[in-house]
């Protein structure tokens, strides 16, 4: 039985001998296995994910969204230069098999935006029983998060990116769409809303904004007022402590400090952003604090990854686990994404319903947990190969 301690010791052993591809290959093959299996409610090429309602924990529903599949493809493309030649071929296979799925989630009028769920026919909460009565009347509009993820997954041409960018400028926290009854810190910041829908109330999320800006910086899209405003909102959330004190308020769809730190760290890898560089020490200190109090192994993984992205080797990580380490990765309560149906409500109703957990659905994807661990391993290895000290101790 391989526990986390044995895994990390194996990685260190192979690193010291200059043959460190085996543990990484094992994780990558595990990810690939989720895509090649047959599942009743998931199309070929999709990585399965599951949702759990706040009021009915431990009851999981199959949810064939494109979010996790897109994220896996995008992250593997980022990590590809750190992989061996044989592992790169596995990545190519994963990307190839996922590609036919994207059109199922594209705007049903042909616009270059994408939805969390299928668009033709429209679906709300797949396999949701009575919730599927809302498929046509209450279907969600396309969102910026899935749109930038899938544009990256497909290496969308500049012409498509420009058209989507123009569309984004119509969905800001401004004018008649300005969010009502929100804290004064954010009220007048004309950042991007999460949703593209004309009738959808404005929804602000620092993780979504981080993903959007990450994409725009990578594609060298000339920044405009909305981009500056989105960056200002992220910095405001850092400065006033909301990333720690009120994480679900400023990131209703990710909802926790470790995930916010991970997203901001990822954004900062796209370009040298002076406003965020000025706050880097604060972010590192918060990540260290969160790592010291973290209990879930996946929280420790993403916090360690955030530190690595900031050029800091994580402090010693202790994880107590029994059984095989793949099982430990795949069966935690770690939810990377939260569908928060009350995030569009005005204050104080949003805060009250948020505390009660009304309208919250937690999303899990075993393959994506493995991918986050793969990212952590590869970044650790890169730091060790660069001669930095490695403080890893998973028990």
Per-residue confidence (pLDDT) for residue 22, from 0 to 100: 64
Among residues 224, 195, 165, 185, which one has the least CA distance to residue 339? 195
Residues 6+ apart with CB under 8 A from 239: 279
The answer, as to whether pTM is greater than 0.85, is: yes
Domain 4-385 is of which CATH architecture?
A: Alpha/alpha barrel (1.50)
For the ranges 57-61, 266-270, 390-394, the one whose mean pLDDT is highest: 266-270
pLDDT above 80 for 19: no
66: phi then psi, degrees, rounded to nearest 5: -95, -5
Rounded Cα distance, 261 and 244, in Å: 10
Per-residue confidence (pLDDT) for residue 199, from 0 to 100: 80
Per-residue confidence (pLDDT) for residue 114, from 0 to 100: 97
362: phi then psi, degrees, rounded to nearest 5: -100, 135
Among residues 4, 3, 8, 6, which one has the least CA distance to residue 391? 8
Lowest mean pLDDT, pick from 17-31, 180-194, 229-243, 280-294: 17-31
Tens digit of pLDDT for each residue in 287-344?
Answer: 999 999 998 989 999 999 999 999 998 876 555 544 577 888 888 889 999 886 654 4
Which residue ranges make up each domain of the chain? 4-385
For the ranges 123-137, 269-283, 346-360, the one whose mean pLDDT is highest: 269-283
Mean of per-residue pLDDT scores for the chain: 85
DSSP assignments along 62-94, one per residue: E---SHHHHHHHHHHHHHGGGS-HHHHHHHHHH
**CA neighbours within 13 Å on the CB side: how many for 130?**
0
Per-residue confidence (pLDDT) for residue 120, from 0 to 100: 82
Q: What's the DSSP call for residue 119?
A: B
Tens digit of pLDDT for each residue in 108-149?
Answer: 888 999 999 999 877 776 665 545 545 454 568 999 999 999
pLDDT category of residue 201 using cuts at 50, 70 and 90: confident
Q: Can you point out the beta strands (E) in 86-213?
A: none
CB atoms within 10 A of CB 305: 25
pLDDT category of residue 223 using cuts at 50, 70 and 90: confident
Per-residue confidence (pLDDT) for residue 60, from 0 to 100: 73
Among residues 256, 263, 303, 259, which one has the least CA distance to residue 284? 303
């Amino acid at each position: 039985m391989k526990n986390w301690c044995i895994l990390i010791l194996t990685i260190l052993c192979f690193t010291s001998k200059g043959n460190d591809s085996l543990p990484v290959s094992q994780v990558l093959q595990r990810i690939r296995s989720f895509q090649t299996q047959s599942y009743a409610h998931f199309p070929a090429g999709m990585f399965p994910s599951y949702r759990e309602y706040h009021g009915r924990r431990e009851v999981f529903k199959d949810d064939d969204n494109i979010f996790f599949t897109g994220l896996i493809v995008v992250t593997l493309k980022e990590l590809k230069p750190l992989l061996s030649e044989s592992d790169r071929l596995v990545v190519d296979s994963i990307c190839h098999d996922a590609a036919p799925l994207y059109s199922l989630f594209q705007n049903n009028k042909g616009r270059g935006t994408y939805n969390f769920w299928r668009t033709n026919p429209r679906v709300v909460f797949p396999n949701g029983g009575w919730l599927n009565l809302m498929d046509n009347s209450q279907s969600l509009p396309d969102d910026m998060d899935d749109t930038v993820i899938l544009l990256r997954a497909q290496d969308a041409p500049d012409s498509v990116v420009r058209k989507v960018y123009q569309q984004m400028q119509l969905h800001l926290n401004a004018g008649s769409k300005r969010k009502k009854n929100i804290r004064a810190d954010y009220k007048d910041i004309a950042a991007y809303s999460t949703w593209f829908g004309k009738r959808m109330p404005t929804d602000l999320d620092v993780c979504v904004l981080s993903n959007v800006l990450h994409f725009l910086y990578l594609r060298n899209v000339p920044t405009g007022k909305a981009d500056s405003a989105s960056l200002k909102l992220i910095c405001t959330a850092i400065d006033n402590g909301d990333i720690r004190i009120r994480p679900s308020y400023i990131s209703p769809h990710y909802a926790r400090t470790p995930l916010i730190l991970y997203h901001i760290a990822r954004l900062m890898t796209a370009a040298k952003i002076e406003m965020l560089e000025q706050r880097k020490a604060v972010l590192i200190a918060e990540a260290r604090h969160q790592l010291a109090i973290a209990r879930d192994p996946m929280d420790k993984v993403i916090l360690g990854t955030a530190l690595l992205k900031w050029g800091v080797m994580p402090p010693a990580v202790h994880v107590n686990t029994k059984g095989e380490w793949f099982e430990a990765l795949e069966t935690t309560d770690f939810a990377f994404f939260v569908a928060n149906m009350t995030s569009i409500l005005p204050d104080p109703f949003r805060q009250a319903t948020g505390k009660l957990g009304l309208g919250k659905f937690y999303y899990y994807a075993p393959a994506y947990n493995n991918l986050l661990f793969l990212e952590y391993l590869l970044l650790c290895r890169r730091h060790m190969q660069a001669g930095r000290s490695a403080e890893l101790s998973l028990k």
